[in-house]
Chains A and B, each alone.
Chain A
Amino acid sequence: MERLPRGRHGLSREYVAQNQRERLLGALAECLHEKGYESTTVAQIGKRAGVSKSDFYKHFESKDNCFLSAYDDSVARIREHTVAGCEAGGAWTTRVLAALGALLDCLSREPAQARLVFVEGLRAGRGVYDRYQEALQSFVPYLRQGAPAPPGETPPPAATDEAVIGGIASLLSRRIAAEETERLAEFLPEIADFALTPYIGAAEARRIISGR
């Protein structure tokens, strides 16, 4: 997020406020990435964003409040991208692949945001796990909708959707913590294989992924 020009610039007050807010949220994600939650101060966030301390407090009550807003905003952005992938249409397997591709793409393009949601945010405590759990659960209906059962077998048990989503999130969290965020897209075939197998069987999952 670019800083605005100094002095008279003819930009509306709402625009300036929105721009400041977004800069602060971005700065918080970067500070967390560099030094973790405890060592990040309001002054450092403000300095990085180019926003004065008094302006910081016009947007957020506290560091905690700024952090939770940043967390919610980031989750919403990642979610929006992923869901847009699902909603592109096509067969269930096509939609799952599109959603996973969009998710990995979104994470690798914004490493600080990815780290905030999957690593630093979770380590900070402060009720973030409730938000994380809610976000993960919100993907369950998308995965479940139209999910097939392996030919000649009973549909996978109800916990499968949640376990698939939790397993993917856990892998992402480990890889992001290991600073592999920028190459997450390389994991698409593996993650897709893991996600599709419980529903269509390993052989069919491989066939679809290799023919992609």
Chain B
Amino acid sequence: MDAIAELTAEQGYEATKIGDIVGRAGVARKTLYDNFEGKEEVFLTAFDTAVDEAMRRIEESCTEVEGGWEERLQAGLEAFLRYVAEEPALARMCMIEALSATPAATERYEDTMQRFVELVKRIVPHDERLPDTIEETLVGGVAWIVYQQIRRHEADKAEDLLPELSEFMLAPFAATAGREPA
């Protein structure tokens, strides 16, 4: 699974062949087929594993931080950016290659976006004056900035985005938090 992340990050999903994966992983072709049906299943399993691990770290940071929702939101965002910085190949696989690898991968990507939307919804205060879609647009905006950072091959510096992205995510809730006249 590490092998498919590295290879798709280097050359894209389409160009990555089963032979490349077993070669990089140093396992026999038969071993791969004993464990997976084929390339797509390796990719999807690697995707799920990476997303679950990222989610686990993010949720842990949100829970452990002291303070209110603002601190929790920031801690979650920070954990996400740290994961991208520490695992650039996995980040590229999940946030870039998955978008167009196969229909099942696209679906996984969209489900993951939805998981992030729901996570943000659980953290931020409810305010009926805010658009119903606010969490969707915020998550989409953050994903877009990180997507571009990865494409520029600067995933390792993703944490530099924290101040700007947390300001962006907090801005709509400023009035709710009493920092702006409602």
A residues sitting closer than 8 Å to B (CB atoms) are 36, 122-126, 128-129, 133, 136, 150, 156-160, 162-171, 173-174, 177, 187, 189-191, 193-194, 197-198, 201-203, 206
Known: A163-B145, A163-B165, A202-B172. A123 touches B133 (CB 8 A): no
Q: Of B14, B99, B140, B171, which one neighbours A169 at CB under 8 angstroms?
A: B140
**Contact bitstring B141-177, A, C-beta under 8 A = 1, else 0:** 1111101100100000000010111011001111100
B110 touches A177 (CB 8 A): yes
**Residue of A at shortest CB range from B163?**
A157
Q: Is B34 among interface residues, defined by CB-CB distance under 8 A?
A: no
In the complex, A167→B141 CA distance in Å?
4
A194 touches B144 (CB 8 A): no
A160 touches B148 (CB 8 A): no
Inter-chain contacts of A163 with B (CB < 8 A): 141-142, 144-145, 164-165, 168
B131 touches A169 (CB 8 A): no
User: Can you name 15 A-B residue pairings with CB atoms under 8 Å?
Assistant: A123-B106, A125-B101, A129-B100, A157-B163, A157-B164, A162-B145, A166-B145, A166-B147, A167-B142, A170-B139, A171-B137, A174-B110, A194-B134, A201-B174, A202-B129
Most B Cβ at <10 Å: residue of A150, A170, A189: A170
Known: A162-B144, A162-B145, A166-B140. A194 touches B168 (CB 8 A): no
Q: Of B99, B137, B138, which one neighbours A129 at CB under 8 angstroms?
A: B99
How many contacting A-B pairs (Cβ < 8 A)? Answer: 127
Inter-chain contacts of A160 with B (CB < 8 A): 164, 167-168
Nearest CB of chain A from residue B18's CB, rounded to whole Å: 19
**Residue of B at shortest CB range from A209?**
B131
Nearest CB of chain B from residue A97's CB, rounded to whole Å: 14
A206 touches B133 (CB 8 A): no
Most B Cβ at <10 Å: residue of A177, A191, A194, A201: A194
Nearest CB of chain B from residue A196's CB, rounded to whole Å: 10
A190 touches B131 (CB 8 A): yes
In the complex, A129→B99 CA distance in Å?
9
A133 touches B148 (CB 8 A): yes
Known: A162-B148, A201-B174, A203-B175. A194 touches B161 (CB 8 A): no
Nearest CB of chain A from residue B124's CB, rounded to whole Å: 13
Q: Is B68 among interface residues, defined by CB-CB distance under 8 A?
A: no
A125 touches B100 (CB 8 A): yes
In the complex, A169→B133 CA distance in Å?
13
Most A Cβ at <10 Å: residue of B99, B106, B141, B174: B141
**Contact bitstring B103-125, A, C-beta under 8 A = 1, else 0:** 10010001001000000000000
Known: A123-B100, A125-B14. A187 touches B161 (CB 8 A): no
Q: Across chains A and B, which 9 residue pairs bring their CB atoms closest together, nearest first?
A: A166-B144, A170-B140, A167-B141, A190-B131, A163-B141, A125-B100, A167-B137, A157-B164, A159-B164
Most A Cβ at <10 Å: residue of B144, B145, B148: B144
Q: Is B67 among interface residues, defined by CB-CB distance under 8 A?
A: no
Known: A123-B103, A125-B14, A171-B137. A157 touches B144 (CB 8 A): no
In the complex, A198→B171 CA distance in Å?
6
Q: Is B136 among interface residues, defined by CB-CB distance under 8 A?
A: yes
